[in-house]
Structure 1
Amino acid sequence: MTSLTERLATCYSGVVYDIMRDMGLPPAVLPHSIKSLENHVKIAGPVFTLRGRPDPSVGAHESLLEWTSFLSKAAVGHVVVCQPQDSNRALMGELSAEALKLRGVLGYLVDGGARDVSFIKKIGFPVFCRYTSPIDVVGNWRPEAMEEPVTIGNVVIHPGDYILGDEDGVVVIPKAHAEEVISRSEVAMNTESLVRKAILEGQDPQEAYVKYGKF
Protein backbone atom coordinates (compact mmCIF):
# COMPACT_ATOMS: atom_id res chain seq x y z
CA MET A 1 0.00 0.00 0.00
CA THR A 2 1.32 3.45 -0.90
CA SER A 3 2.26 5.45 2.20
CA LEU A 4 1.05 8.96 2.99
CA THR A 5 4.62 10.19 2.44
CA GLU A 6 4.80 8.66 -1.04
CA ARG A 7 1.41 10.11 -1.93
CA LEU A 8 2.34 13.55 -0.61
CA ALA A 9 5.56 13.49 -2.65
CA THR A 10 3.47 13.31 -5.85
CA CYS A 11 1.62 16.51 -4.89
CA TYR A 12 2.81 20.09 -5.15
CA SER A 13 2.64 22.87 -2.59
CA GLY A 14 0.15 25.01 -4.53
CA VAL A 15 -2.57 22.39 -4.64
CA VAL A 16 -2.02 21.47 -0.98
CA TYR A 17 -2.36 25.14 -0.04
CA ASP A 18 -5.58 25.41 -2.06
CA ILE A 19 -7.07 22.36 -0.36
CA MET A 20 -6.16 23.56 3.12
CA ARG A 21 -7.70 26.95 2.34
CA ASP A 22 -10.89 25.30 1.07
CA MET A 23 -11.05 23.18 4.24
CA GLY A 24 -10.79 26.31 6.41
CA LEU A 25 -7.41 25.31 7.84
CA PRO A 26 -4.85 28.00 8.74
CA PRO A 27 -2.55 28.84 5.79
CA ALA A 28 0.51 27.07 7.19
CA VAL A 29 3.08 28.35 4.68
CA LEU A 30 6.66 28.92 5.81
CA PRO A 31 8.51 32.17 4.99
CA HIS A 32 9.40 32.41 1.30
CA SER A 33 13.05 32.99 2.21
CA ILE A 34 13.33 29.26 3.01
CA LYS A 35 14.31 27.52 -0.22
CA SER A 36 15.88 24.32 -1.45
CA LEU A 37 19.62 24.33 -2.05
CA GLU A 38 18.86 22.89 -5.48
CA ASN A 39 16.04 23.38 -7.97
CA HIS A 40 13.64 20.54 -8.71
CA VAL A 41 14.21 19.01 -5.27
CA LYS A 42 11.27 18.27 -2.97
CA ILE A 43 10.94 17.38 0.67
CA ALA A 44 7.89 15.44 1.80
CA GLY A 45 7.04 13.47 4.90
CA PRO A 46 6.25 13.56 8.61
CA VAL A 47 8.21 15.99 10.76
CA PHE A 48 10.89 15.34 13.36
CA THR A 49 11.61 18.62 15.17
CA LEU A 50 14.84 20.06 16.53
CA ARG A 51 15.30 23.30 18.44
CA GLY A 52 18.59 24.81 19.58
CA ARG A 53 20.29 28.06 20.46
CA PRO A 54 23.63 29.86 20.26
CA ASP A 55 25.84 29.24 23.28
CA PRO A 56 29.39 30.64 23.12
CA SER A 57 30.20 28.99 26.46
CA VAL A 58 29.87 25.45 25.11
CA GLY A 59 33.17 23.76 24.33
CA ALA A 60 33.97 22.43 20.86
CA HIS A 61 33.97 18.80 21.99
CA GLU A 62 30.72 19.13 23.92
CA SER A 63 28.97 20.90 21.06
CA LEU A 64 29.96 18.13 18.65
CA LEU A 65 28.87 15.41 21.09
CA GLU A 66 25.45 17.04 21.36
CA TRP A 67 25.14 17.57 17.61
CA THR A 68 26.09 13.99 16.75
CA SER A 69 23.65 12.78 19.41
CA PHE A 70 20.90 14.56 17.48
CA LEU A 71 22.08 12.94 14.23
CA SER A 72 21.78 9.53 15.90
CA LYS A 73 18.24 10.21 17.13
CA ALA A 74 16.66 11.77 14.02
CA ALA A 75 13.74 9.54 13.05
CA VAL A 76 13.92 7.33 9.98
CA GLY A 77 11.37 8.20 7.32
CA HIS A 78 10.94 11.77 8.61
CA VAL A 79 11.94 15.27 7.55
CA VAL A 80 13.93 17.12 10.21
CA VAL A 81 12.64 20.65 10.85
CA CYS A 82 15.10 22.78 12.81
CA GLN A 83 14.53 26.08 14.60
CA PRO A 84 18.10 27.15 15.51
CA GLN A 85 17.20 30.58 16.90
CA ASP A 86 20.31 31.74 15.07
CA SER A 87 20.99 33.79 11.95
CA ASN A 88 24.76 33.49 11.65
CA ARG A 89 25.90 29.91 11.28
CA ALA A 90 25.22 26.80 9.23
CA LEU A 91 23.08 24.13 10.85
CA MET A 92 23.74 21.51 8.16
CA GLY A 93 26.87 20.37 6.35
CA GLU A 94 28.23 17.53 4.29
CA LEU A 95 28.99 14.95 6.99
CA SER A 96 25.70 15.60 8.76
CA ALA A 97 23.80 15.27 5.50
CA GLU A 98 25.62 12.01 4.77
CA ALA A 99 24.76 10.67 8.22
CA LEU A 100 21.07 11.61 8.00
CA LYS A 101 20.70 10.22 4.50
CA LEU A 102 22.33 6.94 5.54
CA ARG A 103 19.89 6.68 8.47
CA GLY A 104 16.94 7.02 6.12
CA VAL A 105 15.98 10.59 7.03
CA LEU A 106 14.07 12.11 4.09
CA GLY A 107 15.34 15.68 4.24
CA TYR A 108 16.24 18.64 6.42
CA LEU A 109 14.69 22.10 6.72
CA VAL A 110 16.19 24.83 8.86
CA ASP A 111 15.12 28.37 9.65
CA GLY A 112 18.76 29.27 9.27
CA GLY A 113 21.84 28.29 7.29
CA ALA A 114 23.67 25.44 5.62
CA ARG A 115 27.16 24.93 4.23
CA ASP A 116 29.12 22.45 2.07
CA VAL A 117 26.49 23.10 -0.56
CA SER A 118 28.25 21.47 -3.50
CA PHE A 119 28.80 18.28 -1.49
CA ILE A 120 25.19 18.17 -0.29
CA LYS A 121 23.98 18.58 -3.85
CA LYS A 122 26.31 15.80 -4.98
CA ILE A 123 24.89 13.27 -2.52
CA GLY A 124 21.31 14.30 -3.34
CA PHE A 125 20.11 14.97 0.20
CA PRO A 126 17.23 17.49 0.24
CA VAL A 127 18.06 20.58 2.32
CA PHE A 128 15.90 23.70 2.59
CA CYS A 129 17.38 26.76 4.33
CA ARG A 130 17.41 30.58 4.42
CA TYR A 131 21.08 31.22 3.63
CA THR A 132 24.51 29.63 3.35
CA SER A 133 27.55 30.31 5.51
CA PRO A 134 30.93 28.67 6.18
CA ILE A 135 30.42 29.18 9.94
CA ASP A 136 29.51 25.94 11.72
CA VAL A 137 28.11 24.98 15.14
CA VAL A 138 31.41 23.99 16.77
CA GLY A 139 31.85 25.68 20.15
CA ASN A 140 29.01 28.09 19.52
CA TRP A 141 25.62 26.32 19.30
CA ARG A 142 23.82 23.47 20.98
CA PRO A 143 20.57 21.51 20.61
CA GLU A 144 18.09 22.07 23.44
CA ALA A 145 14.99 20.06 22.47
CA MET A 146 13.84 17.38 20.06
CA GLU A 147 10.30 16.32 19.25
CA GLU A 148 8.76 19.45 20.72
CA PRO A 149 6.75 22.06 18.77
CA VAL A 150 8.82 24.67 16.94
CA THR A 151 7.74 27.93 15.33
CA ILE A 152 8.97 29.15 11.96
CA GLY A 153 7.55 32.45 10.78
CA ASN A 154 3.99 32.38 12.11
CA VAL A 155 3.59 28.60 11.76
CA VAL A 156 3.73 26.28 14.75
CA ILE A 157 5.04 22.88 13.63
CA HIS A 158 4.37 19.81 15.75
CA PRO A 159 6.20 16.49 15.63
CA GLY A 160 4.31 14.20 13.27
CA ASP A 161 2.83 17.01 11.16
CA TYR A 162 3.46 16.57 7.45
CA ILE A 163 5.57 18.92 5.36
CA LEU A 164 5.84 19.45 1.62
CA GLY A 165 8.46 21.70 0.09
CA ASP A 166 9.10 22.39 -3.59
CA GLU A 167 10.14 25.29 -5.83
CA ASP A 168 7.00 27.26 -4.92
CA GLY A 169 7.51 27.08 -1.17
CA VAL A 170 6.84 24.98 1.91
CA VAL A 171 3.48 24.02 3.42
CA VAL A 172 2.83 22.26 6.72
CA ILE A 173 -0.15 19.95 7.13
CA PRO A 174 -1.43 19.23 10.66
CA LYS A 175 -1.10 15.54 11.44
CA ALA A 176 -4.82 15.17 12.19
CA HIS A 177 -5.75 16.42 8.70
CA ALA A 178 -2.95 14.85 6.65
CA GLU A 179 -4.93 11.96 5.18
CA GLU A 180 -7.84 14.17 4.10
CA VAL A 181 -5.64 16.96 2.72
CA ILE A 182 -3.56 14.53 0.67
CA SER A 183 -6.63 12.66 -0.62
CA ARG A 184 -8.33 15.89 -1.66
CA SER A 185 -5.10 17.12 -3.27
CA GLU A 186 -4.95 13.97 -5.39
CA VAL A 187 -8.54 14.51 -6.55
CA ALA A 188 -7.81 18.17 -7.32
CA MET A 189 -4.75 17.27 -9.41
CA ASN A 190 -6.82 14.79 -11.43
CA THR A 191 -9.41 17.50 -12.07
CA GLU A 192 -6.68 19.97 -13.06
CA SER A 193 -5.49 17.43 -15.63
CA LEU A 194 -8.96 17.40 -17.17
CA VAL A 195 -9.03 21.22 -17.27
CA ARG A 196 -5.57 21.30 -18.85
CA LYS A 197 -6.61 18.76 -21.48
CA ALA A 198 -9.76 20.72 -22.30
CA ILE A 199 -7.83 23.98 -22.75
CA LEU A 200 -5.17 22.33 -24.89
CA GLU A 201 -7.95 20.93 -27.07
CA GLY A 202 -9.26 24.45 -27.61
CA GLN A 203 -11.96 24.89 -24.97
CA ASP A 204 -12.43 28.41 -23.62
CA PRO A 205 -10.73 28.71 -20.19
CA GLN A 206 -13.87 30.05 -18.53
CA GLU A 207 -15.97 27.26 -19.99
CA ALA A 208 -13.45 24.72 -18.75
CA TYR A 209 -13.55 26.26 -15.28
CA VAL A 210 -17.36 26.25 -15.17
CA LYS A 211 -17.46 22.64 -16.37
CA TYR A 212 -14.92 21.25 -13.92
CA GLY A 213 -15.09 23.77 -11.06
CA LYS A 214 -11.32 24.02 -10.85
CA PHE A 215 -8.66 26.31 -12.26
Structure 2
Amino acid sequence: MDTTTISDALDKLGIAGQCLGIAPLDPTFRMAGPAFTVRYVPCGVHGGTVGDYIDDLPEGTVVTLDNQQRVNATVWGDILTIVATRKHLGGTVIDGVCRDAPRAIEMRYPIFSRGTYMRTGKDRVAVDAVQCTVSIGGVRVNPGDLLVGDRDGVVAVPKERFEQVAEVAQRIDEAENRIREAIERGERLDEVRKTQQYHSLQTRDRS
Protein backbone atom coordinates (compact mmCIF):
# COMPACT_ATOMS: atom_id res chain seq x y z
CA MET A 1 0.00 0.00 0.00
CA ASP A 2 1.06 3.60 -0.40
CA THR A 3 2.27 5.70 2.50
CA THR A 4 -0.87 7.84 2.57
CA THR A 5 -3.09 4.86 3.33
CA ILE A 6 -0.67 3.55 5.95
CA SER A 7 -0.45 7.05 7.46
CA ASP A 8 -4.25 7.14 7.79
CA ALA A 9 -4.17 3.75 9.52
CA LEU A 10 -1.49 5.00 11.91
CA ASP A 11 -3.67 8.01 12.75
CA LYS A 12 -6.66 5.74 13.33
CA LEU A 13 -4.63 3.69 15.79
CA GLY A 14 -2.93 6.63 17.48
CA ILE A 15 0.57 5.65 16.32
CA ALA A 16 3.06 8.41 15.50
CA GLY A 17 4.81 6.94 12.47
CA GLN A 18 5.03 9.69 9.84
CA CYS A 19 8.70 10.67 9.32
CA LEU A 20 8.73 14.43 8.79
CA GLY A 21 11.07 15.88 6.16
CA ILE A 22 12.29 12.59 4.68
CA ALA A 23 11.84 12.34 0.90
CA PRO A 24 13.02 10.14 -1.99
CA LEU A 25 15.97 11.15 -4.16
CA ASP A 26 13.86 10.20 -7.17
CA PRO A 27 10.05 10.53 -7.14
CA THR A 28 9.66 7.03 -8.58
CA PHE A 29 11.51 5.32 -5.73
CA ARG A 30 9.50 2.91 -3.58
CA MET A 31 10.74 0.95 -0.60
CA ALA A 32 9.56 -1.43 2.11
CA GLY A 33 11.38 -3.60 4.61
CA PRO A 34 12.54 -4.12 8.18
CA ALA A 35 14.84 -1.51 9.70
CA PHE A 36 18.49 -2.06 10.54
CA THR A 37 19.30 0.96 12.67
CA VAL A 38 22.51 2.99 13.07
CA ARG A 39 22.97 6.06 15.26
CA TYR A 40 25.70 8.68 14.66
CA VAL A 41 27.32 11.19 16.99
CA PRO A 42 29.96 13.90 16.42
CA CYS A 43 33.54 12.64 16.30
CA GLY A 44 35.98 13.04 19.13
CA VAL A 45 39.56 14.26 18.73
CA HIS A 46 40.64 11.03 17.05
CA GLY A 47 38.17 11.22 14.20
CA GLY A 48 36.06 8.31 13.09
CA THR A 49 34.32 6.41 10.32
CA VAL A 50 30.75 6.32 9.08
CA GLY A 51 30.76 2.56 9.68
CA ASP A 52 31.32 -0.85 8.09
CA TYR A 53 28.02 -2.46 9.00
CA ILE A 54 26.65 -3.31 5.58
CA ASP A 55 28.36 -6.59 4.63
CA ASP A 56 26.32 -8.82 6.93
CA LEU A 57 22.85 -7.38 6.30
CA PRO A 58 20.23 -9.77 4.85
CA GLU A 59 18.36 -9.16 1.62
CA GLY A 60 15.41 -6.78 1.95
CA THR A 61 16.81 -4.86 4.92
CA VAL A 62 16.19 -1.11 5.03
CA VAL A 63 19.32 0.65 6.29
CA THR A 64 18.07 3.26 8.76
CA LEU A 65 20.60 5.98 9.63
CA ASP A 66 20.00 8.50 12.39
CA ASN A 67 22.43 11.34 11.70
CA GLN A 68 20.43 13.66 13.97
CA GLN A 69 19.12 15.77 11.06
CA ARG A 70 22.65 16.90 10.09
CA VAL A 71 22.79 18.43 6.63
CA ASN A 72 26.48 19.42 6.71
CA ALA A 73 28.02 15.92 6.51
CA THR A 74 26.92 12.74 4.76
CA VAL A 75 26.79 9.16 5.98
CA TRP A 76 25.97 7.47 2.65
CA GLY A 77 27.62 7.59 -0.78
CA ASP A 78 28.08 5.64 -3.99
CA ILE A 79 30.23 2.82 -2.59
CA LEU A 80 27.54 1.94 -0.06
CA THR A 81 24.94 2.21 -2.83
CA ILE A 82 26.87 -0.29 -4.97
CA VAL A 83 27.18 -2.78 -2.09
CA ALA A 84 23.54 -2.34 -1.06
CA THR A 85 22.36 -2.91 -4.63
CA ARG A 86 24.46 -6.06 -5.03
CA LYS A 87 23.06 -7.39 -1.74
CA HIS A 88 19.46 -6.57 -2.79
CA LEU A 89 18.78 -4.46 0.27
CA GLY A 90 15.36 -2.83 0.52
CA GLY A 91 16.63 0.76 0.59
CA THR A 92 18.19 3.40 2.82
CA VAL A 93 16.53 6.00 5.04
CA ILE A 94 18.63 8.84 6.47
CA ASP A 95 17.72 11.51 8.97
CA GLY A 96 20.37 13.65 7.34
CA VAL A 97 21.81 13.84 3.85
CA CYS A 98 23.52 11.56 1.32
CA ARG A 99 25.85 12.16 -1.59
CA ASP A 100 26.54 10.64 -5.03
CA ALA A 101 22.83 10.83 -5.84
CA PRO A 102 23.33 10.16 -9.58
CA ARG A 103 24.68 6.68 -8.80
CA ALA A 104 21.65 5.78 -6.70
CA ILE A 105 19.30 7.04 -9.41
CA GLU A 106 21.24 5.20 -12.12
CA MET A 107 21.19 1.94 -10.16
CA ARG A 108 17.55 2.42 -9.08
CA TYR A 109 18.50 2.03 -5.44
CA PRO A 110 15.90 3.77 -3.24
CA ILE A 111 17.32 6.37 -0.86
CA PHE A 112 15.11 8.59 1.31
CA SER A 113 16.78 11.50 3.10
CA ARG A 114 16.66 15.22 3.89
CA GLY A 115 18.54 15.98 0.68
CA THR A 116 22.02 15.77 -0.76
CA TYR A 117 25.35 17.36 0.13
CA MET A 118 28.83 16.52 -1.12
CA ARG A 119 30.84 16.71 2.12
CA THR A 120 31.86 13.42 3.74
CA GLY A 121 30.95 12.52 7.27
CA LYS A 122 34.30 10.79 7.81
CA ASP A 123 36.13 12.39 10.74
CA ARG A 124 33.01 14.49 11.38
CA VAL A 125 30.59 11.85 12.68
CA ALA A 126 31.05 8.32 13.96
CA VAL A 127 28.84 5.32 14.63
CA ASP A 128 27.61 5.44 18.21
CA ALA A 129 25.47 2.28 18.16
CA VAL A 130 23.80 -0.20 15.83
CA GLN A 131 20.49 -2.03 16.21
CA CYS A 132 19.36 0.53 18.75
CA THR A 133 16.37 2.85 18.98
CA VAL A 134 16.81 5.81 16.62
CA SER A 135 14.87 8.90 15.56
CA ILE A 136 13.90 9.37 11.92
CA GLY A 137 12.01 12.55 11.11
CA GLY A 138 10.88 12.78 14.72
CA VAL A 139 9.65 9.18 14.78
CA ARG A 140 11.01 6.55 17.13
CA VAL A 141 12.24 3.56 15.08
CA ASN A 142 13.37 0.25 16.57
CA PRO A 143 15.25 -2.57 14.85
CA GLY A 144 12.85 -4.66 12.80
CA ASP A 145 10.16 -2.00 12.49
CA LEU A 146 8.66 -1.84 9.01
CA LEU A 147 9.64 1.19 6.94
CA VAL A 148 7.65 2.05 3.82
CA GLY A 149 8.58 4.83 1.43
CA ASP A 150 7.21 6.35 -1.77
CA ARG A 151 6.82 9.76 -3.41
CA ASP A 152 4.97 11.14 -0.38
CA GLY A 153 7.67 10.22 2.14
CA VAL A 154 8.36 7.52 4.73
CA VAL A 155 6.23 5.89 7.42
CA ALA A 156 7.39 3.60 10.21
CA VAL A 157 5.20 0.78 11.52
CA PRO A 158 6.16 -0.77 14.89
CA LYS A 159 6.87 -4.46 14.34
CA GLU A 160 4.58 -5.50 17.19
CA ARG A 161 1.62 -3.70 15.58
CA PHE A 162 2.21 -4.59 11.94
CA GLU A 163 -0.80 -6.89 11.55
CA GLN A 164 -3.13 -4.40 13.23
CA VAL A 165 -1.93 -1.53 11.02
CA ALA A 166 -2.20 -3.68 7.90
CA GLU A 167 -5.78 -4.65 8.73
CA VAL A 168 -6.89 -1.05 9.30
CA ALA A 169 -5.03 0.17 6.21
CA GLN A 170 -6.78 -2.48 4.11
CA ARG A 171 -10.21 -1.31 5.31
CA ILE A 172 -9.33 2.32 4.55
CA ASP A 173 -8.01 1.42 1.10
CA GLU A 174 -11.15 -0.52 0.22
CA ALA A 175 -13.43 2.30 1.41
CA GLU A 176 -11.54 4.93 -0.57
CA ASN A 177 -11.64 2.73 -3.68
CA ARG A 178 -15.44 2.51 -3.34
CA ILE A 179 -15.60 6.30 -3.04
CA ARG A 180 -13.50 6.76 -6.19
CA GLU A 181 -15.65 4.33 -8.13
CA ALA A 182 -18.84 6.07 -7.01
CA ILE A 183 -17.75 9.59 -7.96
CA GLU A 184 -16.53 8.28 -11.32
CA ARG A 185 -20.11 7.06 -11.84
CA GLY A 186 -21.28 10.61 -11.20
CA GLU A 187 -22.56 10.25 -7.64
CA ARG A 188 -22.39 13.18 -5.22
CA LEU A 189 -19.20 13.27 -3.16
CA ASP A 190 -20.93 14.36 0.05
CA GLU A 191 -23.41 11.48 -0.16
CA VAL A 192 -20.75 8.91 -1.02
CA ARG A 193 -18.54 10.06 1.85
CA LYS A 194 -21.47 9.73 4.23
CA THR A 195 -22.30 6.24 2.98
CA GLN A 196 -18.71 5.07 3.29
CA GLN A 197 -18.22 6.81 6.66
CA TYR A 198 -15.30 8.70 5.14
CA HIS A 199 -14.91 11.20 7.94
CA SER A 200 -14.30 8.45 10.49
CA LEU A 201 -11.75 6.50 8.44
CA GLN A 202 -8.71 8.26 9.91
CA THR A 203 -10.22 9.44 13.20
CA ARG A 204 -8.73 7.76 16.22
CA ASP A 205 -10.99 5.36 18.07
CA ARG A 206 -11.44 6.59 21.65
CA SER A 207 -13.42 3.64 22.93
TM-score range normalised by the length of the shorter chain: 0.7 to 0.9
Which of the numbers 17, 32, 45 marks the counterpart of 1:57? Answer: 45
Contact 1:58/1:141 (8 A) holds in 2: no
What one-letter code is carried by the residue in structure 2 that aligns with 1:53?
V
1:122-133 map, 5 Å: 122-133=106-117
- Supply the distance in 1 between the matched residues of 2:154 and 2:129 (Cα, whole angstroms): 23
Which of the numbers 169, 176, 199 marks the counterpart of 1:185? Answer: 169
Q: How many residues align?
A: 198
Q: Secondary structure at the match of 1:131?
A: coil
**Structure 1 residue 29, shift from structure 2 partner:** 1.2
1:200-211 map, 5 Å: 200-211=184-195
- Supply the distance in 2 between the matched residues of 1:156 and 1:128 (Cα, whole angstroms): 16
Contact 1:58/1:142 (8 A) holds in 2: no
Aligned to 2:15: 26
User: Any idea what the Cα deviations from partners look like across 1:9-41, whole Å, max 9, x if unmatched?
Assistant: xx1111111112222x2322112x221100021
1:38-49 map, 5 Å: 38-49=26-37
- TM-score normalized with structure 1 length: 0.84
- Contiguous gaps of at least 5 residues in structure 1: 1-10
**Structure 1 residue 82, shift from structure 2 partner:** 0.6
The runs of at least 4 consecutive aligned structure 1 residues that moved more than 3 Å come to 56-59
1:35 aligns with 2:23: yes
- CA-atom RMSD, angstroms? 1.9
1:17 aligns with 2:15: no
**Structure 1 residue 126, shift from structure 2 partner:** 0.4
- TM-score normalized with structure 2 length: 0.87
Aligned to 2:71: 87
- Contiguous gaps of at least 5 residues in structure 2: 200-207
Q: Secondary structure at the match of 2:143?
A: coil
1:58-77 map, 5 Å: 58=46, 63=49, 67=51, 69-77=52-60
In structure 2, relative to structure 1, the CA distance for the partners of 1:74 and 1:54 (3 Å cut) is: farther
In structure 2, relative to structure 1, the CA distance for the partners of 1:58 and 1:97 (3 Å cut) is: farther
Aligned to 1:103: 87
**Structure 1 residue 56, shift from structure 2 partner:** 5.7
- Supply the distance in 2 between the matched residues of 1:163 and 1:73 (Cα, whole angstroms): 19
Aligned to 1:5: none
Q: Secondary structure at the match of 2:73?
A: coil
Q: Secondary structure at the match of 1:45?
A: strand
- Identity among equivalent positions (%) equals 25
1:114 aligns with 2:104: no
Give the number of the structure whose residues are more often strand, by fraction.
2
Aligned to 2:204: none
**Structure 1 residue 140, shift from structure 2 partner:** 3.0
**Structure 1 residue 175, shift from structure 2 partner:** 0.9
What one-letter code is carried by the residue in structure 2 that aligns with 1:193?
N
- Supply the distance in 2 between the matched residues of 1:51 and 1:75 (Cα, whole angstroms): 19
- Supply the distance in 1 between the matched residues of 2:4 and 2:121 (Cα, whole angstroms): 34
In structure 2, relative to structure 1, the CA distance for the partners of 1:16 and 1:87 (3 Å cut) is: same
- Supply the distance in 1 between the matched residues of 2:67 and 2:46 (Cα, whole angstroms): 15
User: Any idea what the Cα deviations from partners look like across 1:55-111, whole Å, max 9, x if unmatched?
Assistant: 16345xx62xx62x2121334322111112333112111110110121221000111
- Supply the distance in 2 between the matched residues of 1:58 and 1:122 (Cα, whole angstroms): 36
